[in-house]
Amino acid sequence: MPLVSAYSPGKLGLSFELYPPRDTAGMDDLFANLTELIQFRPSFVTCTYGAGGSTRDKTLDIAARVRREFGLPVAAHLTCVGATPSDLRAYLDDAAARGIEGIVALRGDPPKGEAAFRATDGGFRHADELVRFIRSEHPGFSVVVAGYPEKHLEAPDFETDLDHLKRKVDAGADFVISQLFYRNDDFFRFRDRCAATGIRVPIVPGILPVTSLKQIKRISAMCGATLPDEFLTRLEFQAGDPKGQFDVGVYFATRQVEGLVEAGCPGIHFYVLNKSQATATIMRALTLFPRDE
């Protein structure tokens, strides 16, 4: 089944994003946490691809293991950083041989210490080229691309960024998962502008539940997500209390998800960061998704 079927009419797609941990202990934690999250019946799980291809094998190993142990459809992320077309082809062949259903096709960020992204010789400059490549090499993959409710940091303006997103969709992407954001209105404006630009595929909001003030300041500085003043004030009020910050974050994300689903979003993609506690607490508080008893 193509991954986009998670968003068929009458369905609410739920997906979880994992990342490859550094060591065996992290891997054990990841699978223990995923075991807890499985009760919420995700439609699929994705696994990120480390900077510069550093996690190439681990990404595919984790995706294949999730598929094998939980019987869930999976998507492996892939970036163009430092990769030649033959590197990309080898990854895609490997993913297909392991039965992985989808690829989250990304350009990737410039390596640490480099200001701008540089393609390898014969490599790709933007994600739309990677999408086209995947479509021609392995038409059977589901293909997912990234979208930016507050525009990508490098884009000169919102409209230009949307035109680039449309190129990725026209190149064959099945749906879009958004960058994390904390103001639902940003997402709604993005979704409406996508529709006006002629983007007809599902646009799925990506949610990162905040679990600490320090973490969110770092992440939002990295990707440009704006934190609403009210949210920051509530978090800062809990500055000396990690549990208080966790509770505020979970409360905020629960309300955010409710607002998104009520406004007709086709599903929710959680950046679970390999931890189950925040996502599971949010999911328990929601009555919107089916779950195992």
Ligand X SMILES: Cc1cc2nc3c(=O)[nH]c(=O)nc-3n(C[C@H](O)[C@H](O)[C@H](O)COP(=O)(O)OP(=O)(O)OC[C@H]3O[C@@H](n4cnc5c(N)ncnc54)[C@H](O)[C@@H]3O)c2cc1C
Element (H, E) at 84: none
Cβ proximity to ligand X, 127 vs 207, nearer residue: 127
Instruction: Give yes or no for a contact between 275 and 26, defined as CB atoms under 8 angstroms apart.
Output: no
Stretch that binds ligand X, among 92-100, 160-168, 246-254, 283-291 (CB under 6 A): 160-168
User: What is the size of the binding site for ligand X (CB under 6 A)?
Assistant: 24
Cβ at position 109, least distance to ligand X in Å: 4
150's tokens: 């507050």
* Of 170, 4, 151, nearest in space to 73 by CA: 4
**Residue that has been written with the tokens 């997402």 in this structure:** 187
Helices 184-197 and 242-262 meet at what angle, rounded to 10?
A: 30
Would you count residue 150 as binding ligand X (CB under 6 A)?
no
Cβ proximity to ligand X, 155 vs 261, nearer residue: 155
Cβ at position 144, least distance to ligand X in Å: 7
**Residue 112 class from Cβ within 10 Å (0-12 exposed, 13-18 middle, 19+ buried)?**
exposed
Q: Which residues are CB-neighbours of 6 under 8 A, at least 6 positions away?
A: 13, 14, 15, 43, 44, 267
258 is catalytic: no
Stretch that binds ligand X, among 4-12, 63-71, 105-113, 241-249 (CB under 6 A): 105-113
Beta bridge partners of 203: 176
Query: 33-92: which residues touch ligand X (CB under 6 A)?
Result: 48-49, 51, 77, 79
Helices 85-97 and 56-70 meet at what angle, rounded to 10?
A: 20
Beta bridge partners of 79: 106
Stretch that binds ligand X, among 84-92, 103-111, 192-200, 252-260 (CB under 6 A): 103-111
Would you count residue 193 as binding ligand X (CB under 6 A)?
no
Q: Which of 89, 167, 217, 275 binds ligand X (CB under 6 A)?
A: 167
Q: Which of 89, 164, 166, 193 binds ligand X (CB under 6 A)?
A: 164
Q: Which of 128, 150, 174, 186 binds ligand X (CB under 6 A)?
A: 128
Q: Which of 206, 209, 249, 266 binds ligand X (CB under 6 A)?
A: 206
What are phi and psi for residue 151, nearest 5 degrees? 70, 150
Q: Active-site residue numbers?
A: 17
Report the interface residues with ligand X, using CB under 6 A.
Answer: 48-49, 51, 77, 79, 104, 106-109, 126-128, 146, 152, 154-155, 161, 164, 167-168, 177, 179, 206
